[in-house]
Each structure stands twice: as C-alpha cells, then as structure tokens.
Amino acid sequence: MAPTIPASEFATNTHLSIAEPVSYLKFIDGLRGVAILMVIAVHTSQHVTNLADSTFRVKTFEMLVTSGARGVQLFFVLSALTLFNSSAHRFAQDTYPKLSFWLRRAFRILPFWWLMHVYYVLRNPIPLQFVVPSLFLYFGFIRYRTGSDVIPGGWSIFVEETFYLLMPFLFTRIKNVTSALYLCLSLYAVSYVWDWSHSFFPEANAFHFDFPLTQWLCFGLGILAFFAMNTETFKKMASNVTLGRMMDCILLLAILELLGLPNYHQAIRTQTLVFLLMVMTAGFRHSFTRRATENRLLVLYGTCCYSLYLLHFLILDFLDPYRERFLAVLRLSHAPMDIQFLAWYPVVCLAGLGAGLVSFRLIEKPCVNLGKRLITRLNRKPLPLSELTTQRAS
C-alpha cells in the first residue's frame, strides 16, 4: 500500500468536510480556502468599476489581485495531493478500486454541475449543440467555439475531469518521489511543447491556455508533493521550528519575486512551482503558513469551495445592483478602484460563504454520501474468479 501523510496530526472527527477522518488534512482545506478567495478576488475586481477610472491606481496591488486567477492552478495541485492521499487507503480496501474512484468523483462533481446547467439553460438561450457537451464534460475540446461555455469558469472542471480519468492508472504506477519527479518532468515538457505549438491551434476563448496539456503539470506537482511529504526526511524536518520559519521566508521571497516578473500572469509553470512550495511549507507544523491555513474561516471556505466556485459568478451578478448603493453609503462612489475593491470584496466573500455552505450541506454532502453507500454495496460483491486469481498472484 502507498504511504499516507500521517492523519493523526491533521485529522479530526468533527470536521465539516466530506473527507474521511483517516485521510483528512485540515491545512489542505485552508489552502483550498486561499485558492477560492484568490479566484473570487480577480472576478470581483472585474465587477468593480469607478465612474471615471476603471483601473487600479497601485500597480503592485493590481498585480496581486489579478494573480488570483491562478487560484485554479492551486486547486489542481491540491486535488492531486489529496486524491493520492485518500486513494492510499481506498485502493487497498475496495474490491473494484478504479470503478469506485470514478463513482466517487461522479457523485462529487456531477449533481451540482447538472443543477447549475438547469439554471443557466433556463436563464440563457443556449443551443443544444453546446448544452450536451457541457452536460457530459467533454465541452473542453470545442471551447474555441463561441458560446460553448455554458457555466462560467467551467473549463477548470473539464481539466479536473481529464485528470480523474487518468488518476487510477497513475496511482498504480507512481510509487515514490523519483517516479513522481519523472512524471513532472514529462508533463513540463508536454506543457512546453503545447505552449510552443499555440500557432497551430485555435486561441479563441483562451482555448490553448486552458486546455489540459497546459494544466496537467499542476497535478504532477501535487503528486510529487504527496510523495515528498511522506518521506522520512521530510517528516523529521517538518517538526523543526527553525526550518518552518525558514520555509515561510523562502515562500514569501518566492511570491515577491513572482510578482516582479514582467509577464507574471503568463508564467504558469513558475507560479505552479510557487504553489508547490506553499503546500510543502504548510506541511511544516510550526510554520506561520501552517497556522494561517488552519484558520477556521479559511477551512470553511475550503470545505465548500466547489459550490462557491460555481456559485460566485451568480453571487456577483446578484449583488451588482446593490454595489453602488453600498459604496454610496460609505461615500466611496468616486474613490479609486483600489478602495472600492477593498470595501466590496468582503461583502462578496461573506455572501459567497453563506451560499456555499448551504449548497454544500443540502446538495454536495447528501450526494457524496449517496455515492458512498452505492460504492459500499458495490464492493461487497465478490470478485470474479479471474480477477481474484490475478490479485492473489500479485
């Protein structure tokens, strides 16, 4: 069985998350909270306008806000890490581990995805030629066509689904840091070649950048983080107070250096390495990053991040009519965009958290629990004789 990050240090039986206590990592939910707040920040900035000035005055602040778009890549890194961590238990217990994995992902993603489809199809006249591909998550192959995005931001769910299809096969083949590193190098080369070949493919609707071949490196780095954090060397280092503080400093310098790059918003491979460093730093028990990512509010955001990701576009649209009145009450109607953003962003975040938690409790969690019951029944069935013989031989 593959190693797992020690659950005794991170897990709690009272956590809200749908993850099983044996594989639950509290700081990962906190990092997911960071990721969703980054995404909300960049989309909120696109909604906030000033009568005479629709740009940020402080360019460094603008760079920080717009870099929130890369919160999606942080999600990808965390997704691979947590799936490998949970699969280390499940693949050893399930009779049909691959099928069980895909069923878990289906019950986790599809119900709320389909519900959002109903809303957007009723709200907008969307041609059937786009509804069906999006409904069954293969729309990413035709995203260069205008109107193919039914749900805003749905491209990242398509990328996630491509990883889910591959993940069981990767899990059975990637066994240590060395093989994970080879995987990352291979995916780096794939992303580089794909980036180089952009002139041969459509670029409308950010098709080339958002395509899985660009993004898979993020998952590879998440897998690398999983195996690196399971090494005895890392486990010993993770308890050292001084090393934890040093990692905090290195992470801060890396973020500042990244923001200083001329084309920082395009440097996805560099940014993803910073996210890998962020995850590793959070793994140090005495680091400030660890304490910050275990903040209860951040963990709540991380718990309902999927609902919040799909809902926050609706929330921004719903709140738009009230934004000007809110800013007027604060006498900020003619303030620079920086100030307007700082005033409005907490409102969007709080509204989003409320909606996300309701959706998580009423839709996500019941669907996941239904999937768990189905998988439990599935795995009670005896293996066919041919498969049983194969497993015994291995």
- How many C-alpha atoms does 148 have within 13 Å on its Cβ side? 18
The stretch 157-174 carries a mean pLDDT of: 95
- Phi/psi of residue 100, nearest 5 degrees: -65, -40
Instruction: Return the higher-pLDDT residue of 45 and 258.
Output: 45
DSSP annotation string for 186-242: HHHHHHHHHHHTGGGS--GGGHHHHSHHHHHHHHHHHHHHHHHHTSHHHHHHTT-HH
- Tell me how far CA of residue 181 lies from CA of 73, 119, 381, in angstroms: 18, 42, 37
Query: What angle do helix axes 97-123 and 155-173 make, rounded to 10 degrees?
Result: 180
pLDDT value of position 1? 45
For 56-74, write each residue's pLDDT tens digit. 888 888 888 888 888 999 9
C-alpha span between 51 and 30 (Å, rounded): 36
For 305-353, write each residue's pLDDT tens digit. 999 999 999 999 999 999 989 999 999 888 888 999 999 999 999 999 9
Instruction: Return the higher-pLDDT residue of 270 and 212.
Output: 212
Instruction: Return the higher-pLDDT residue of 119 and 386.
Output: 119
For 197-213, write each residue's pLDDT tens digit. 877 888 788 898 899 99
Round the average pLDDT of the chain to a whole number and report it.
87
Which region, left, alpha or beta, applies to residue 70 given φ > 0 means left and ψ of -120 to 50 means alpha?
alpha
Residue 215: is its pLDDT beyond 50? yes
**83: amino acid identity, one letter:** L
C-alpha span between 10 and 294 (Å, rounded): 10
The stretch 12-27 carries a mean pLDDT of: 69
pTM of the model: 0.90
For 98-113, write each residue's pLDDT tens digit. 999 999 999 999 999 9
The stretch 82-102 carries a mean pLDDT of: 90
C-alpha span between 311 and 40 (Å, rounded): 10
C-alpha span between 26 and 284 (Å, rounded): 13
